[in-house]
Chains A and B, each alone.
Chain A
Amino acid sequence: MTDFERRLLNEFQRDLPLTPRPFAAIAEKLDCEESTVIETLERLTADGTVSRVGAVFKPGGVGESTLAAMAVPPERLEEIAELINGFDEVNHNYEREHRLNLWFVLCAPDRARIDKAIAEIEARTGLTVLDLPMIEDYHLDLGFPIQWD
């Protein structure tokens, strides 16, 4: 990771300029060319370091979401994880070290759509889905302070 990449990632996790050419505005602050900013973001997106340049929405602010958990027999974990990935509503899906070993997030325009997806997952797997919708969000997301070492 170059110093330039580190500055780009540390300083622009929020307040992306709302001007017609935001990458040119970033380039000015970092003393480089607009094309360098764009090419670097393309490369970091391609290698997976950057998920996207865009908005982090407040959960429950637009549409509905929930965190779901399942206790999956280990030998079925990959098969069921793949089945769950196949749902458009699912944006995160992780194995965790716990009896409840599969955790995923569902987002949809309305709660009915989430209920439908959960019911379908339960029907297709024969397993129970624990539905844990957010009640309150306490975290002000200012981006992640990366400690380089």
Chain B
Amino acid sequence: MGLTDKDRRLITAIGKGLPLVPEPYAEIGRQIGMTGDEVIRSLERMLDAGLIKRLGIVVRHHELGYRSNAMVVWNIPDNEVAEVGRRVSAFGFVTLCYQRPRRLPDWPYNLFCMVHGRERVRVLEQVEHLAEACGLEGVERDVLFSARRFKQRGATYCLKSTESAA
């Protein structure tokens, strides 16, 4: 979809979330020169176009007791990666699944998925289950558990400051 200037202002304004007030859309609108109705219609369009994957409460897994978070990476033949990616994504404990480029020789993996669990051993069981269910037992893979979290927040696309980056 084509984004209008207003859409872009809205994307920037809601980067850190909606205000927790009775009329959050109207309140955001006031900050960026839009009416509450315009904000709602813009969000609807972005949802319909798939630019917004979901609108709602974004939880932090760690604080909910999901202390173990692993990035599981696989080296899948390029002609199979889309099919495998879709199969892997269907599991509830998989929260992200992307194809990314390999960077040889440092990095041979092209499929990345995120698995959350309450304990490390449970995450490893889930990865094993995933490999069996998707026929990936023989595939080269690695499991990168998170240790310290240095930063976590919503994306701010910094749309207003485009000019200064030129």
> A residues bordering B, Cβ < 8 Å?
8-9, 12-16, 18-24, 34, 38, 41-42, 45, 47-59, 61-63, 65, 67, 69, 81-82, 84-85, 88-98, 100-101, 103-105, 107-110, 112-113, 116, 130-147, 149
Contact = CB atoms under 8 A, between A and B. Distances in A.
A103 B41 CA distance: 36
A145 B146 CA distance: 20
B56 A97 contact: no
A38 B90 CA distance: 33
Nearest to A92: B152
Contact of A94 (B50, B106, B112, B149): B149
A12 B53 CA distance: 14
B151 A56 contact: no
Interface string B97-136: 1111101001100101100101000000000000000000
B22 interface: yes
A42 B20 contact: yes
B54 A13 contact: yes
Interface string B44-81: 10100011111111111101100000010000000001
B99 A135 contact: yes
Interface in B81-99: 81-82, 85-86, 88-89, 92, 94-99
Interface string B139-166: 0001011111111111111110010011
Interface of B: 3, 8, 11, 14-18, 20-26, 36, 40, 43-44, 46, 50-61, 63-64, 71, 81-82, 85-86, 88-89, 92, 94-101, 103, 106-107, 110, 112-113, 116, 118, 142, 144-159, 162, 165-166
B148 A94 contact: yes
A90 B151 contact: yes
A141 B154 contact: no
Contacts of A109: 157-159, 162, 165
Given A21-B22, A134-B99, A146-B59, A63 B152 contact: no
A19 B43 CA distance: 11
Contacts of A59: 98
A13 B59 contact: yes
Given A9-B57, A50-B58, A85-B150, A107 B50 contact: no
Contacts of B159: 62-63, 109
Contacts of B56: 12-16, 53, 143
B24 A22 contact: yes
A144 B60 contact: no
A138 B146 contact: no
Nearest to B52: A55
Contact of A56 (B54, B82, B103): B54
A110 B43 CA distance: 22
7 closest A-B pairs by beta carbon, nearest first, are A52-B17, A138-B85, A63-B157, A14-B54, A93-B151, A54-B17, A95-B147
Contacts of B144: 96-98, 100, 103
